Each structure stands twice: as C-alpha cells, then as structure tokens.
C-alpha cells in the first residue's frame, strides 16, 4: 500500500512551492551555463592582455595557444565529472538537502575565485584561473544530480517531466545572461577607455573586465543559498531511505497546501529497512544495470555532439569577426552578441518546447526525435562543407547552427537530465544520476576538446592537421544515429509513472521471470479447462 504522503505528492496540483523549487534548484544550472558560455569572450580579453602580438601583426587573430584554451575548457569539465560522482553518492548516503548547500558554496567560491586570480603574471593568472575553474566545476557537477533528484521527488507524476525540464531550462537563461553581462561590461570599459582604435595596445583595464564578468556569475547562486538551506528534505528520501514517515509528512505540510492529518498514516508503520544489496552488486546490476547503461550511454553520446558546437563557433567567428580589425572590448562584445542571438532564437525556445511537450509525447520519442534531427543537420553541414559552407557562412549556415541547439535541447540534452531522476529507487537515485551525468561530461571533453583538434585539415592557430570538418561532422552525425538506436533499444518510458514503482520493483524484479512463467502456466491451464468445459 502506498504511503499517504507520497500519494499526496503524486496527486498534488501545481502549487507555489513547485515554482519556488524550480528557481532554487535551477540556479545551479544557471551558473553552469553562465560560466561555460562566458569563457569564449573572456579568453579573447585574456589573450589580448597576456599574449600581445607585434604591432604589425593582425590584432584580431586568436592569441592564446590552442593547448591553453583546451586546458581551460577541459579542467572545468573534469571537475564536473568528479562533482557528479561524489555529490551524487553523498546525496543518497546522507541526504539531498545536507549536501545541496555545499555544492552551491563551491560554485560561488569558484566564481569569485576565478575573478580574484590574485596575481598579474601570465603563468600565475592562468594557473589560478584553472584551479578555481576546477573548483567551480566540482560544485556545478554536484548540483546536477541533486537538483534533478530534488525536483523529481517534489513533483507530481502528471507534470514531473515539465518541472524537471524547467529546472534544466535555467541553463538557457544563464547563457543569455552571461552574454548580456559580457556585452554591458565590455561597452562600459570600452567607453571608459575612450573607444580604443583597433590598432591601439590593449589597456591593462581589460584585465579587470574579464574578472568582473566571472565574479558577477556567482551573485545569483549566492542569492539562493538561504532558500536552499530552508528547503526541507524531500519526503521520498525521508520516508523511503531514512524510514521516518511521520517526519516526511511534517516536512510536506510546510510546503504543500494540505493538512498534516491528511498525509499522516492512520496506524504506525512497522520498520521495513530497504533492501540490503549494495551499489554495483550482482543484484543491483540485474535490477538496474540496463537502465543505468541506457542513461549513461545516451548522456555520453549527446554531450559528445552538444559540446562540439565549438566547431561551428570557430567557423562563425572566423567569418563574421576575424576579417575585421577590432579592439579587445569590441571583439569580445561581438562574440557575446552572437551567443545571445543563438540563445534567444534557438537555445531557449528548445528548452521551453521541451517543458511544454515532454509530458505529452514522452521522453523516449522526444529523445529519439532530437537525436535524429541533429544527425540530419550535421550531415547537411558536413557533407557539402568544403564544397559550399566553407566559403558561404551565410544566414543558411546560421539557421542550421541554431537548429543543432534547438533539437539538442528539444530532445536528448534535456531528456538525459530528466530520465535518470525517474528510473531508480530513492536510495540509488542521486548516485545513478551522478554516474550518468559523469559519463556525459566525459563525452563533453571528447566533444569540446577532441573534435576541436580533429576538425582542422591543415595546420592553423596552433592546431595540427587532422581529420577536417567534413569527416568530423559526419562522425558527429553518426554519433546521433547511434543515440537514436540506443534510445529505441534500451531507454524505458517514464512519463506518467510514479517514482514509487521503482521501489516496488525492488521486490518484484527478483521473481519477475518466475512470475512470467507462472502467468503463462495459469493461462494455459485456464485455456485447457475452458476447452474441457466446452466439450
């Protein structure tokens, strides 16, 4: 029999606390996107400040060595992998709420630390920036499994997908905010410096501009710290893992529009400790191995493709920006402006299309559709790349570029965040989400770094000759096709499914095969009996 408090959660109408939870949980994803997408313009400012070129050289050429740029991207993603694994496990061992605030503290400290790189020599600044970006990555990684799990455990089963997708959609607002903040800061510093000419030396004040941009990213996260600490532990964790049903009811009375008498059990329940098999035991793999494989594999594949957007970014920036001489502030401003346009026209619409449709058409269909259309876009760009797109980076190219983000977010980039929070029992939910997310971030390192290096067909900007854009993009399209097939074969639909069904499976899966054969036997016996009666 289902617990009253959990049944009330499943059947609850949409209330104020749902929207409050979306904002509080989503602020970590907001910070994640802010810090990821402010890096391209910031690297321009750092490059102009610490890697100056001779006056007779082209001032708009990329100035930071490729290895340094790759390291700055990879180190934050590596921290994210570690954060997802560590905080995901801690969320199941000691509770979601107890470690939720700590992940946010790491994000705030990392953001401020990135700006307060306390030295001015090139090696020291880059070393300090790399260290604090790693700290920031750990905090961001920790926030992924906790935010998804908390939102899934607070939500009702009818609109659970939309609520979790709304949390994830905060990334879109983070991208847009980082671009707007970067543009404002660059304009302010440019005006304060008297509108430098493109050939003028980069002023030392540019070293302050990028620091301000990074530190401002920590403010929204810091503003939600109090509300995170005030959130009660989720009723599902308290009731199912800690086995304290009364406390779960008291916690939910504080946030739900329901009286305690309605969600308190009529009689004290006997203590029934959860199954004792450990993580990655034979029993765990038999019951949940396929689901964990499907979640981790899909997340890995989509992040390989999603984070390879650097290939497109370099193409667009090269064609639209590098052919014109600009000072450091203008160059960073234009990069941020392009990111803002893509976010407003493609990324954010993709997120909110998912919020609207996820509970109507289901996770599996949406994930397959997103993978499939992403593959079509990559093939449409990759096959004729050197024959056409290399010399015609026009509006058509921009539309295709935007479609990659739209179908990623209206598809697997969002569903891979949702499904792991719905497929596993409460005592493994945060851990399995963290493992799935960590697999995804390994894929993001391959996409952001590996394919960035592989995309060059000649030596340029510090990159060696490699596969070239056509081969790289066709491979990425193939990865999307693999994602479509893997989703069809292995991913289970979770729309409209109560999270407590995962707890029932703890007991029922063990005898699932025997029950199946028993049901077949009963049907056979029934059919034979009916035959005798008919005779």
Total domains, the chain: 1
Q: 3-state class of 307 per DSSP?
A: helix
Q: Which two tokens stand for residue 6?
A: 């959990």
**Domain contains 530:** no
- So what's the pLDDT on residue 353? 96
Contact between residue 274 and residue 241 where contact means Cβ atoms under 8 Å apart: yes
DSSP assignment string, 319-373: HHTTTS---HHHHHHHHHHHHHHHIIIIIHHHHHHHHHHHHHH-HHHHHHHHHHH
3-state secondary structure labels for all residues of 28-95? HHHHHHHHHHCHHHHHHHHHHHHCCCCCCCCCCCCCCCHHHHHHHHHHHHHHHHHHHHHHHHHHHHCC
Q: Which pLDDT value is given to residue 525?
A: 41
Q: Both tokens of residue 488?
A: 């069809």
Does residue 179 fall inside a structural domain? yes
pLDDT of residue 408: 94
Q: Are the CB atoms for 169 and 355 separated by under 8 Å?
A: yes
The three-point CA angle 248-253-254 to 5° equals 105
Q: Residue 224 has what DSSP assignment?
A: T
Q: Which two tokens stand for residue 494?
A: 């979770």
Kindly state whether residue 507 falls inside one of the protein's structural domains: no
Calpha distance 476→417 (Å, rounded): 21
Spatial neighbors of 354 by CB under 8 A, at least 6 apart, are 165, 169, 366, 409, 410, 411, 414, 415
What percent of the residues of the chain are helix, what percent strand, and what percent coil, each to the nearest 5?
75, 0, 25
Mean pLDDT by 10 residues, the chain (535 residues): 80 84 89 86 88 57 72 90 96 91 90 83 89 93 94 91 95 93 94 82 88 91 85 90 88 78 68 71 92 97 87 61 75 90 93 95 96 95 86 81 92 96 94 97 90 70 73 92 96 91 62 36 40 37
- The per-residue pLDDT for 454 is 75
Distance CA 535, CA 530 (A): 9
- Expressed as residue numbers, the domain containing 476 is 4-266+279-499
Angle between helices 16-37 and 160-168 (to 10 degrees): 30
Assess contact for 351 and 168: CB atoms under 8 A: yes
Apex 480 CA angle, 478 and 485, nearest 5: 95
User: Domain for residue 513, yes or no?
Assistant: no
Indicate whether 57 belongs to any domain: yes
Please write down the long-range contacts of 469-473, taking CB distance under 8 Å and 24 or more positions apart: 469/311, 469/315, 469/382, 469/385, 469/386, 469/390, 470/382, 470/383, 470/385, 470/386, 471/382, 472/308, 472/311, 472/382, 473/311, 473/378, 473/379, 473/381, 473/382, 473/385
In a domain, 365, yes or no: yes
Does 515 map to a domain? Answer: no
What CATH number does the domain containing 200 carry? 1.20.1250.20
Evaluate whether residue 533 is within a structural domain. Answer: no
- Contact between residue 449 and residue 527 where contact means Cβ atoms under 8 Å apart: no
């Amino acid at each position: 029999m289902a617990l009253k408090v959990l049944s009330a959660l499943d059947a609850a109408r949409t209330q104020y606390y749902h929207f409050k939870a979306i904002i509080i949980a989503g602020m970590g994803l907001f910070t994640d996107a802010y810090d990821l997408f402010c890096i391209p313009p910031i690297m321009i400012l750092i490059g102009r400040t610490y890697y100056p070129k001779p006056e007779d050289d082209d001032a708009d050429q990329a100035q930071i060595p490729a290895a340094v740029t790759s390291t700055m991207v990879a180190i934050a993603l590596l921290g994210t992998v570690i954060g997802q694994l560590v905080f995901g496990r801690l969320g199941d061992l000691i509770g979601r709420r107890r470690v939720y605030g700590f992940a946010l503290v790491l994000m705030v400290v990392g953001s401020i630390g990135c700006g307060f790189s306390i030295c001015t020599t090139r090696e020291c600044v880059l070393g300090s920036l790399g260290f604090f970006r790693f700290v920031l990555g750990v905090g961001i990684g920790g926030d992924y499994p906790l935010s998804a799990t908390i939102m899934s455990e607070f939500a009702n089963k009818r609109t659970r997908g939309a609520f979790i997708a709304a949390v994830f959609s905060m990334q879109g607002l983070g991208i847009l905010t980082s671009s707007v903040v970067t543009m404002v800061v660059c304009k302010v510093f440019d005006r304060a410096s008297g509108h430098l000419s493109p050939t003028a030396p980069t002023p030392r004040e540019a070293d302050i501009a990028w620091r301000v941009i990074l530190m401002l990213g920590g403010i929204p996260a810091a503003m939600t710290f109090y509300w995170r600490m005030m959130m009660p532990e989720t009723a599902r964790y308290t009731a199912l893992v800690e086995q304290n049903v009364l406390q779960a009811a008291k916690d939910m009375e504080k946030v739900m529009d329901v009286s305690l008498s309605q969600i308190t059990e009529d009689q004290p329940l006997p203590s029934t400790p959860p199954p004792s098999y450990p993580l990655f035991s034979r029993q765990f793999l038999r019951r949940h191995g396929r689901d964990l494989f499907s979640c981790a594999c899909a997340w890995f594949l989509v992040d390989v493709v999603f984070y390879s957007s650097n290939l497109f970014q370099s193409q667009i920036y090269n064609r639209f920006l590098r052919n014109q001489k600009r000072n450091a502030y203008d160059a960073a401003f234009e990069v941020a402006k392009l990111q803002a346009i893509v976010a407003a026209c493609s990324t954010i619409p993709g997120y909110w299309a998912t919020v609207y449709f996820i509970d109507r058409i289901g996770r599996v269909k949406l994930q397959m559709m997103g993978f499939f259309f992403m593959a079509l876009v990559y093939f449409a760009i990759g096959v004729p790349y050197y024959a056409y797109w290399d010399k015609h980076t026009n509006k058509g190219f921009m539309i295709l570029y935007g479609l990659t983000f739209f179908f990623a977010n209206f598809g697997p980039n969002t569903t891979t965040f949702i499904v792991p929070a719905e497929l596993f029992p409460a005592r493994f939910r945060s851990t399995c989400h963290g493992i799935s997310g960590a697999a995804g971030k390994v894929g993001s390192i391959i996409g952001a770094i590996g394919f960035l290096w592989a995309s060059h067909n000649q030596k340029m900007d510090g990159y060696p000759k490699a596969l070239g854009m056509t081969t790289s993009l066709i491979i990425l399209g193939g990865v999307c096709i693999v994602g479509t097939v893997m989703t069809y074969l292995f991913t289970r639909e979770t729309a409209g499914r109560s999270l407590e069904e995962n707890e029932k499976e703890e007991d029922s899966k063990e005898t699932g095969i025997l029950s199946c054969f028993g049901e077949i036997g009963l049907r056979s016996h029934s059919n034979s009996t009916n035959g005798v009666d008919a005779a």
